[in-house]
A and B are shown apart, each in its own frame.
Chain A
Amino acid sequence: SQQGEEDPQALSIQEGENATMNCSYKTSINNLQWYRQNSGRGLVHLILIRSNEREKHSGRLRVTLDTSKKSSSLLITASRAADTASYFCATDAGETSGSRLTFGEGTQLTVNP
């Protein structure tokens, strides 16, 4: 079953703008991770945030986690055309999920030059 759900399904912005993607989940988690996938390629890990953390940064990426609302957001600042890709959140709910990582269906981000 899908634990994480991304919103929006698709997002189109201009280069230089910020992009925000959201992920909601249903059960308590150990950690939440964001991945990026270029078309026809494998996924690349971006950031992992643990349940006791509220915010993490990596370069132009900022991830927040609100465990009370069971949601996370990924912010990409000053976007570039090369950021065009699908972005997935994945949750590790520990034994609750049978000790597996569950992926959402992704947000397709298009950054127009």
Chain B
Amino acid sequence: DGGITQSPKYLFRKEGQNVTLSCEQNLNHDAMYWYRQDPGQGLRLIYYSHIVNDFQKGDIAEGYSVSREKKESFPLTVTSAQKNPTAFYLCASSIFENEKLFFGSGTQLSVL
């Protein structure tokens, strides 16, 4: 099945720890995105990448980092600099920039 896979589904972070959220797609999409969703809120863009080896900051990039070494993969690292990391994180991909995004099932990150 073609699709976009996020792992893990649940993740717990200790204070001062960096954690990495995985996002893999086999849809052959060039564009990939990371969004953060807080309870009852819309999505806020963290980082996006329109092509391999290139990525751009979104609206709330501070405390996060990404890499795009392969077309299929766009991992997100939540660093210790992100003081309020508890949220639902969604990865997405699309054929064309900003059109018809396909989303993964999300990762719920909580702080221990």
Contacts and interface: CB of A to CB of B under 8 A. Distances in A.
Contacts of A30: 98
A105 B42 contact: yes
B1 interface: no
A35 B94 CA distance: 14
A101 to B, nearest CB: 4
Nearest to A94: B98
Interface stretch (B14-22, B69-77, B79-87, B102-110): B102-110
B103 A92 contact: no
B102 A45 contact: yes
Interface of B: 6, 33, 35, 40-45, 48, 58-59, 88, 90, 92, 97-106, 108
Contact of B98 (A35, A41, A43, A92): A92
Measured as residues with beta carbon below 8 angstroms from the partner, the interface class of chain A is: 20 to 34
Contacts of A2: 42
A104 B40 CA distance: 11
B99 A92 contact: yes
Of A44, A45, A48, A92, most B-chain CB atoms within 10 Å: A45
A40 B90 CA distance: 11
A88 interface: yes
Of B6, B97, B101, B102, most A-chain CB atoms within 10 Å: B101
Nearest to A44: B103
Contacts of A31: 98-99
A17 B45 CA distance: 34
B14 to A, nearest CB: 24
A105 B59 CA distance: 15
Of A92, A103, A104, most B-chain CB atoms within 10 Å: A103
B67 to A, nearest CB: 19
Contacts of A103: 35, 42-44
A30 B97 CA distance: 12
Contacts of B41: 105-106
